[in-house]
């Protein structure tokens, strides 16, 4: 419910929604058949799109979750394109007041998509307002204050709400339950990343050697966003060398400039491994203790740095904390990380 609104016109002036994509849209696939990887999820989405079209209904609300850079926002944009509707993009952090959401919803059109990134950051009052908007396509507004205040229900056009989060556990169950699909963006396979690099090199009108594609795919943490960043930086290095081709040598120059090893790990990653080995006898060490010793936020350690180190088999989590695996200890010796 929206309170302390004396004039309904205030709703229309109180938006902080950011409707612009700041990322380079030229590299983003526009339709599902252009999207590489996530085959099971794509099939689910195709069925939902077909059903909604047959029923002449809006698409069910969808919550995407997964690591940063894996394509949550891209999929939201693709679905809007497939539906032929407008997508309004904002974030949980930007929706500070109920009036912010009301301003967006009061202007939404039938069938439009509202995309909320970092939806786990929504304030409780804002989240509660979304409950009725998602279920009943209506919001309740209090006009005026005190004993003369009046309750007004504002009916909304039917719309689809897409949310995205890197922290599914931080999304409340009442909100989660209102999504027709809670979809995980799974890890990408190496071959998928290689395909993405080749496709986007073509979009950038850059020639790239096969060995360069393979190396870029191996150092990008199996994350499309990082692969695209590295591809663009490799292009810059090639241009700086007066070359029109991204070769393996160019990618190796990029790796040196970024401090990346053959696994795509940077100095911070190696410091984590080194810290566990040298300061905590290869572990186990608790997350809070390790984070404090690294001067890092525990959530950043847990959600950004650790998952790839775990996927590589260098560290593992246990009930007693983080510890290096045999492979992790071998990594320490290989790269001379012993103090």
Residues with a catalytic annotation lie at 72-73, 117, 166, 225
Count of other CB atoms within 10 angstroms of residue 78: 22
The Cα 241–Cα 31 span in angstroms is 35
178 conformational bin, left if phi > 0, alpha if psi -120 to 50, beta if neither: alpha
Unique residue bearing structure tokens 């199996």: 222
98, 198 in Cβ contact below 8 A? no
Report which secondary-structure segment, H or E, holds 163: strand 160-165
Instruction: Evaluate the CA torsion angle 104, 110, 115, 116 in order and state its sign.
Output: positive
Please give the structure tokens belonging to residue 141: 């507004």
The Cα 23–Cα 119 span in angstroms is 19
- Identify which of 79, 74, 94, 100 has the alpha carbon closest to the alpha carbon of residue 160: 79
3-state DSSP percent of the chain in helix, strand and coil, to 5: 50, 15, 35
Q: Cα angle vertex 226, ends 258, 188, to 5°?
A: 130
Please give the structure tokens belonging to residue 191: 């071959």
165, 63 in Cβ contact below 8 A? yes
């Amino acid at each position: 419910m929206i309170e302390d609104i004396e004039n309904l016109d205030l709703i229309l002036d109180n938006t902080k929604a950011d409707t612009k994509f700041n990322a380079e849209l030229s590299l983003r696939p526009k339709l599902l058949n252009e999207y590489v990887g996530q085959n099971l999820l794509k099939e689910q989405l195709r069925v939902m799109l077909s059903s909604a079209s047959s029923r002449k209904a809006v698409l069910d609300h969808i919550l995407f979750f997964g690591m940063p850079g894996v394509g949550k926002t891209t999929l939201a944009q693709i679905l809007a394109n497939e539906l032929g509707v407008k997508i309004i993009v904002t974030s949980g952090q930007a929706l500070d007041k109920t009036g912010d959401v009301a301003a967006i919803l009061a202007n939404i059109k039938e069938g439009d998509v509202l995309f909320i990134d970092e939806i786990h950051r929504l304030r409780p009052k804002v989240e509660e307002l979304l409950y009725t908007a998602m279920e009943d396509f209506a919001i309740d507004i209090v006009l005026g204050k005190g004993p003369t205040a009046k309750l007004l229900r504002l009916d909304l056009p039917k719309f689809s709400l897409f949310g995205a989060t890197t922290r599914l556990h931080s999304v409340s169950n009442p909100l989660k339950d209102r999504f027709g699909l809670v979809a995980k963006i799974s890890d990408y396979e190496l071959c998928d990343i290689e395909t993405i690099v080749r496709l986007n090199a073509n979009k950038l009108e850059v020639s790239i050697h096969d060995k360069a594609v393979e190396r870029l795919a191996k150092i990008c943490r199996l994350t499309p966003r990082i692969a695209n960043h590295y591809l663009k930086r490799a292009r810059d290095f090639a241009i700086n060398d007066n070359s029109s081709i991204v070769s393996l040598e160019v990618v190796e120059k990029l790796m040196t400039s970024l401090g990346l090893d053959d696994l795509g790990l940077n100095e911070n990653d190696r410091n984590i491994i080194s810290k566990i080995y040298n300061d905590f006898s290869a572990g186990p060490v608790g997350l809070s203790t390790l984070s404090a010793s690294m001067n890092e936020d525990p959530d950043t350690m847990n959600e950004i740095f650790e998952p790839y180190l775990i996927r590589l088999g260098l560290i593992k989590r246990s009930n007693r904390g983080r510890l290096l695996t045999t492979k992790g200890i071998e990594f320490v010796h290989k790269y001379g990380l012993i103090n």
